[in-house]
Amino acid sequence: MSQDGIIHALKQRAKDVRTRTDYADRDCPELAPPAAPYAVAQAESVLGFPLHPLHRRVLMDVGNGGFGPGDGLIGLPGGRLDDNGRSIVELRYVLWSGPERAGLPEKVLALCDWGDSIWSCIDEETGAVLTLDESGLTETPWSFHAWLIDWLRGEQLFGQMLTFYERTITNPFTKQPMLVRTPAGAIGAPYKRVKFD
């Protein structure tokens, strides 16, 4: 699918509140208006690097967040923010931080939140989509282009990003056994910069 085809399909899916995100059945975010060129330029200036061309185009042509995989793409300042009120610019510095880490590696930004401290991120230089969890950044098989296409086709990306362990518990309401799947870790090798075409 071409970039134009992706943009068109994203616009169509984002119009419908029931299909806007993977979690639309919970609390679907508002679709933010497209990012203005000056907002993109200002964010890139603060970050110190340009957005990946397709990421920039999605934010400027479809909306500045609020649609897409997981809880929806997180926008630039002035767009759809994460549940804690942070844009991708702010998340750059707070995700995966701690005594030995100072935020995400250079040119890596959050794309969306899956819950349970699991995020999809993008290497803005290469276009690679990464999984961020408590163990760090892990490579996925997707470029941003392929990731969007798979989501538009209805692929269950979350189930392809992680391994799960399953256990049976007693449902506290029905007292019947139920199967629970818990993320056990990201699938893939530790992150290193790999360029996609």
Cα–Cα distance list, 47 to 68, 130, 133 (Å): 23, 19, 22
pLDDT at position 91 over 60: yes
- Residue 116, φ and ψ in degrees, nearest 5: 55, 35
Q: How many Cα atoms occupy the beta-carbon half-sphere of 179 within 13 Å? A: 4
pLDDT at position 42 over 70: yes
Instruction: Give the Cα separation of 59 and 177 in Å (integer).
Output: 44
- Report whether 106 contacts 126 (CB < 8 A): no
pLDDT at position 99 over 60: no
Q: What is the mean pLDDT of residues 33-42?
A: 96
Position 134 scores a pLDDT of: 85
pLDDT at position 183 over 80: no
Q: What is the mean pLDDT of residues 12-17?
A: 92
pTM attached to this predicted model: 0.86
Q: pLDDT tens for residues 108-149?
A: 999 999 988 899 999 999 999 999 988 889 999 999 999 999
The closest alpha carbon to 90, from 98, 155, 82, belongs to 82
β-bridge partners, 61: none
Best-predicted range by mean pLDDT among 12-26, 74-88, 156-170? 74-88
Question: At 64, is the pLDDT very low, low, confident or very high (cuts 50, 70, 90)?
Answer: very high
Q: In this predicted model, which residue has the larger pLDDT, 86 or 177? A: 86
Question: At 102, is the pLDDT very low, low, confident or very high (cuts 50, 70, 90)?
Answer: low
- Report whether 43 contacts 81 (CB < 8 A): no
Q: How many Cα atoms occupy the beta-carbon half-sphere of 93 within 13 Å? A: 7
* Class of residue 74 by CB neighbours under 10 A (exposed 0-12, middle 13-18, buried 19+): buried
- Report whether 148 contacts 136 (CB < 8 A): no
pLDDT at position 57 over 90: yes
Domain parsing of the chain, residue ranges: 3-186
Q: Which fold has domain 3-186?
A: SMI1/KNR4-like (3.40.1580)
